[in-house]
Structure 1
Amino acid sequence: MLTRKQYDLLHFIHSRMQRDGVPPSFDEMKDALDLRSKSGIHRLITALEERGFIRRLPHRARALEIIRLPETLESSAGFEPRVLDGAPRGPAGTAGLETAAFELPVMGRIAAGTPIEAIQQVSRHIAVPGAMLASANRHYALEVKGDSMINAGINSGDIVVIQEQQSAQNGDIVVALIEGEEATLKTFRRRGSTIALEAANPAYETRLYQDHQVRVQGKLVGLIRTY
């Protein structure tokens, strides 16, 4: 599955190669996609390469090769999770709701490593203890891919329960949307106008972004692990 920006870039590269026989420059790609800097193009190129759509050829200028094209354009343009409204509900005065189980849709995978897109389609449902949904906020679940949060007790393959919200406190583990394109699970730290997304694994560096580049999508409130 490609985000809208990834698809637009792949389509642009393909069209230019069909016309000119060579890929466009990074500056041309940046202008075509109306991005502020070439760093966004680098991220999109890396994502397309990881998904097997293009290949970078070493020791050559503009060295891109298209391996395959998607059959259809995915309608997704970034990560907007579908969610379950509210906390567990029951008749007034009902006791023991915190011990009940409620089903949440698992909305695909979220990266705990290099940021990747989070798939928007429901892959399955999972039973979640009512105590995890104790607030009036909406909730959704994601499967973790990667090991960058392993020292926070979050392993690849775990299911994280996310409370939907658009703000975070320093130290919160959040789903962060980067430049409207890629979602990742990291510890949130604000440093003035800069936002740091910290891993919980020394093998991964802290990533720094300007405030306008990051949008909080929700906060981690629970974790489910299957043995």
Structure 2
Amino acid sequence: MLTKKQLDLLAFIHKRVQRDGVPPSFDEMKLALDLRSKSGIHRLITALEERGFIRRLAHRARAIEVVKLPESLGGTPNAGFTPKVIDGDRPDGPPPAAAIQTQAAQAVDLPVMGRIAAGVPIEAINQMTHSVAVPGGMLAGSGQHYALEVKGDSMIEAGINDGDVVVIRETNVADDGDIVVALVEDSEATLKRFKRSGSSIALEAANPAYETRVLPSDMVKVQGRLVGLIRTY
């Protein structure tokens, strides 16, 4: 699910690539979407890349490849998604500290409120898609809990892989180093490591391929903190 701005930008890039063979410049994107600065374009490009719609090619100017399109732009449903079958019992990476073994006993059903991929529209988090059984011991502390499906690889070095389900406790505060669901500019939710940097907030990916986003503190609202992870083999 894309925001209107993300969809508009993807459509503009696709149209220009089809017409000219090369993507538009950031200045052209800014004018096409009527944005005041190129920083907004950078955020939209990052969100589209993290959700797998585009790919940026390193060390090449204006190198953006459209990988897939949503249905509204003529794409194929579930394009780019391939179920993973993993042989054996070893995870792809070390689990985060909050991950525990799932047990059927004393399980609690939590709503899965869409997907998050270090950048997903908040609208997707406001709609329950299904529920998942979570060990009661994972839900320590006060406050409501919900789950999100992870899409992408921006947090792999924190042990969070594509296809994992993260368990989130609702809160509007976080300590440095917490992995949080952060709402950016009231329009985009992202799963990142939270750190304060003076009067700004740094949202750090756990993958060197992704840059840290440093934003004014009034542009970032904490929506919840990671308390657990569920992985299916």
User: Do the two structures share a fold, i.e. TM-score over 0.5?
Assistant: yes
Cα displacement (A) at 1:41: 3.2
| Aligned residue in 2 for 1:131 | 137
Q: How far apart in 1 are the matches of 2:180 and 2:32?
A: 32
Q: How far apart in 2 are the matches of 1:52 and 1:156?
A: 15
Deviation sequence 1:110-129 (CA, Å, 0-9, x none): 11xxx431423322210011
| Aligned residue in 1 for 2:44 | 44
Q: Is the aligned partner of 1:195 residue 2:191?
A: no
Cα displacement (A) at 1:226: 0.7
Which SS does the other structure have where 1:151 is aligned?
A: helix
> Against the structure 1 CA distance between its residues 214 and 127, is the aligned structure 2 distance closer, same or farther, given a 3 Å change threshold?
same
Q: How far apart in 1 are the matches of 2:12 and 2:232?
A: 42
Q: How far apart in 2 are the matches of 1:151 and 1:48?
A: 21
Unaligned 5+ runs, structure 1: 14-24, 54-68, 73-98
Q: Is the aligned partner of 1:102 residue 2:108?
A: yes
Tell me which of 96, 100, 119 is aligned to 1:116.
119
Count of aligned pairs between the two proteins: 197
Cα displacement (A) at 1:214: 1.4
Q: Is the aligned partner of 1:185 residue 2:188?
A: no
Q: In angstroms, what is the RMSD of aligned CA positions? A: 4.2
Cα displacement (A) at 1:44: 3.0
Cα displacement (A) at 1:108: 1.6
Which SS does the other structure have where 1:44 is aligned?
A: helix
Deviation sequence 1:38-73 (CA, Å, 0-9, x none): 3113433665687769xxxxxxxxxxxxxxx9888x
Structure 2: which amino acid aligns with 1:100? Answer: Q
| Aligned residue in 2 for 1:2 | 2
Identity fraction in percent: 69
**Matched ranges for 1:10-89 at <5 A:** 37-44=37-44, 47=47
> Against the structure 1 CA distance between its residues 189 and 42, is the aligned structure 2 distance closer, same or farther, given a 3 Å change threshold?
closer
Q: Is the 8 A contact 2:52 2:152 kept in 1?
A: no
Q: Is the aligned partner of 1:145 residue 2:151?
A: yes
> Against the structure 1 CA distance between its residues 46 and 218, is the aligned structure 2 distance closer, same or farther, given a 3 Å change threshold?
closer
Q: Is the 8 A contact 2:119 2:191 kept in 1?
A: no
Structure 2: which amino acid aligns with 1:189? Answer: K
| Aligned residue in 2 for 1:155 | 161
Unaligned 5+ runs, structure 2: 14-24, 55-68, 73-104
Q: How far apart in 2 are the matches of 1:3 and 1:174?
A: 21
| Aligned residue in 1 for 2:177 | 171
> Against the structure 1 CA distance between its residues 219 and 52, is the aligned structure 2 distance closer, same or farther, given a 3 Å change threshold?
closer
Cα displacement (A) at 1:133: 1.6
Structure 2: which amino acid aligns with 1:184? Answer: T
Q: Is the 8 A contact 1:5 1:181 kept in 2?
A: no
Which SS does the other structure have where 1:219 is aligned?
A: strand
Which SS does the other structure have where 2:177 is aligned?
A: coil
Q: How far apart in 2 are the matches of 1:151 and 1:29?
A: 32
In the superposition, the TM-score normalised over structure 2's length comes to 0.62
Q: How far apart in 2 are the matches of 1:140 and 1:107?
A: 7
